[in-house]
């Protein structure tokens, strides 16, 4: 296995795609005899048959299918490696992969990443918005360097640091019966139809868990994929929703909504940063973690000097 080379793997993928040694030789600009010898040597090295030779071409054996799967993955990784390294020749000095949930993407990361890229202008950030449980899996599998997700989702095996806190509020249309309340409990909302996120989201799970604790059904009328979709449905009088207060504020210019603070303890959520091994991260990724944790700490210290929760507000 140590003698496997990428040229042979690329050739094997071409043979699998074209089902022909001759056409693969033409595509890879190699002599047919050289192609045949490379594949024979590969089979000898692996001590297994990879191809069934047929009168009109070739077919993969079960071992061939297994090799094809890994060969495609290895060649794809090589392409990404070449792309990443090529950036250094044009001035890029780092690459960080970041997966974050919707709350973090909308509420906090625009400012925090703007500050970070101002300090480190020669890095590239590959950020993807994902559900919290998807982020945790991606971090564990090494598909992203840094994950930001809701703290109440189990993340065993990851190194966790606090990031930010967000406050959940009830969102209604201005003329809704609950719109003028100063504050209320989640239990008081359960007689109304809800607009919410898709079922796999951490926010949906949070509401569903508390409705079960209260032995009350959650009347989920419509589920959408974005905070904006929820706000627009609520604006049209189709139901109520529970969202982070800062996320709702983003739609104040275009929609007429009311927000009411919730008194439930879980309404103040914590977002955390998770990594597999902080010490094993590239230097620039560790610096990003330090920057994000520091931003959250500074906001928490500032919030402790501000008054408590405000009454119902119109946005």
Please tell me what DSSP assigns to residue 124: E
> What confidence score (pLDDT) does residue 302 get?
59
> What confidence score (pLDDT) does residue 262 get?
96
Classify residue 149 as exposed, middle or buried by CB count within 10 Å of its CB (0-12, 13-18, 19+).
Answer: buried
* Cross-strand bridge partners of residue 54: 57
Q: Which residues contact 121 (CB under 8 A, 6 or more apart)?
A: none
Kindly report, residue by residue over 299-309, the tens digit of the pLDDT: 666 555 555 54
Higher pLDDT, 10 or 304: 10
- For the whole model, what pTM was predicted? 0.62
**Mean pLDDT calculated for residue range 78-104:** 74
Residue 26 token pair: 């033409």
Distance in angstroms (rounded) separating the CA atoms of residues 242 and 219? 13
Residue 3 token pair: 């003698």
**DSSP code per residue over 124-192:** EEEEEE--HHHHHHHHHTTS-SEEEEETTS--TTSEEEEEEEEEEEEEEETTSTTTT-S-B-GGGGTTS
| Helices 32-46 and 6-18, packing angle to 10 deg | 110
**Mean pLDDT calculated for residue range 173-181:** 93
> What confidence score (pLDDT) does residue 309 get?
43
* Cross-strand bridge partners of residue 150: 271
Helix (H, G, I), strand (E, B), or coil: what is residue 194?
Answer: strand
Higher pLDDT, 102 or 199: 102
Give the H or E element holding residue 126. Answer: strand 124-129
Q: Which of 75-79, 115-119, 304-308 has the lowest mean pLDDT?
A: 304-308
Q: Is the pLDDT of residue 259 over 50?
A: yes
> What confidence score (pLDDT) does residue 312 get?
43
In 3D space, the residue among 99, 116, 108, 203 whose CA is nearest the CA of residue 163 turns out to be: 108
Within the chain, strands assigned E span 51-54, 57-60, 95-100, 124-129, 146-150, 159-173, 194-197, 220-224, 241-244, 257-261, 268-275, 313-314
Helix (H, G, I), strand (E, B), or coil: what is residue 236?
Answer: coil
In 3D space, the residue among 164, 132, 125 whose CA is nearest the CA of residue 282 turns out to be: 125
Q: How many Cβ atoms from other residues are within 10 Å of residue 147's Cβ?
A: 29
Residue 121 pLDDT class (50, 70, 90 cuts): confident
> What confidence score (pLDDT) does residue 2 get?
57
Average pLDDT in the chain: 87
**Mean pLDDT calculated for residue range 38-48:** 91
**Mean pLDDT calculated for residue range 57-69:** 93
In 3D space, the residue among 63, 67, 69, 71 whose CA is nearest the CA of residue 6 turns out to be: 71
**Mean pLDDT calculated for residue range 152-177:** 93
Q: Is the pLDDT of residue 42 over 70?
A: yes
> What confidence score (pLDDT) does residue 310 get?
43
Residue 197 pLDDT class (50, 70, 90 cuts): confident
> What confidence score (pLDDT) does residue 315 get?
46
Is residue 8 within 8 A of residue 67, CB to CB? The reply is: no
> What confidence score (pLDDT) does residue 304 get?
56
Q: Which of 153-157, 161-165, 201-205, 296-300 has the lowest mean pLDDT?
A: 296-300
Residue 43 token pair: 């089979």
């Amino acid at each position: 296995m140590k003698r496997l080379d990428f040229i042979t793997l690329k050739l094997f993928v071409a043979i699998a795609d074209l089902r022909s040694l001759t056409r693969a030789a033409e595509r890879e600009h190699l002599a047919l005899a050289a192609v045949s010898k490379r594949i024979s040597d590969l089979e000898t090295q692996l001590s297994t048959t990879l191809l069934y030779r047929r009168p009109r071409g070739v077919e993969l054996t079960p071992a061939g299918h297994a090799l094809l799967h890994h060969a495609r993955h290895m060649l794809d990784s090589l392409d990404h490696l070449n792309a990443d390294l090529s950036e250094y020749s044009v001035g890029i000095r780092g690459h960080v992969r970041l997966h974050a949930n919707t709350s973090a993407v909308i509420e906090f990361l625009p400012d925090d990443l703007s500050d970070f890229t101002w300090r480190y202008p020669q890095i590239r950030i590959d950020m993807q918005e994902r559900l919290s449980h998807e982020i945790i899996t991606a971090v564990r599998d090494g598909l992203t360097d840094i994950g930001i997700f809701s703290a109440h989702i189990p993340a065993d095996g990851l190194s966790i640091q606090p990031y930010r806190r967000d406050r959940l509020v009830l969102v209604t249309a201005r003329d809704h019966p609950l719109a003028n309340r100063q504050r209320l409990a989640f239990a008081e909302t359960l007689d109304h139809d809800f607009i919410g996120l898709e079922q796999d989201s951490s926010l949906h799970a949070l509401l569903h868990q508390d409705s079960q604790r209260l032995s009350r059904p959650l009347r989920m009328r419509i589920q959408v994929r974005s905070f904006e979709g929820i706000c627009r449905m609520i604006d049209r009088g189709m139901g109520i929703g529970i969202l982070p207060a800062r996320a709702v504020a983003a739609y104040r210019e275009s929609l007429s909504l009311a927000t009411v603070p919730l008194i439930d303890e879980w309404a103040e959520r914590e977002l955390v940063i998770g990594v597999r091994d902080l010490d094993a991260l590239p230097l620039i990724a560790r610096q990003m973690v330090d920057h994000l944790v520091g931003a959250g700490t500074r906001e928490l210290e500032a919030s402790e000097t501000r008054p408590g929760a405000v009454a119902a507000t119109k946005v």
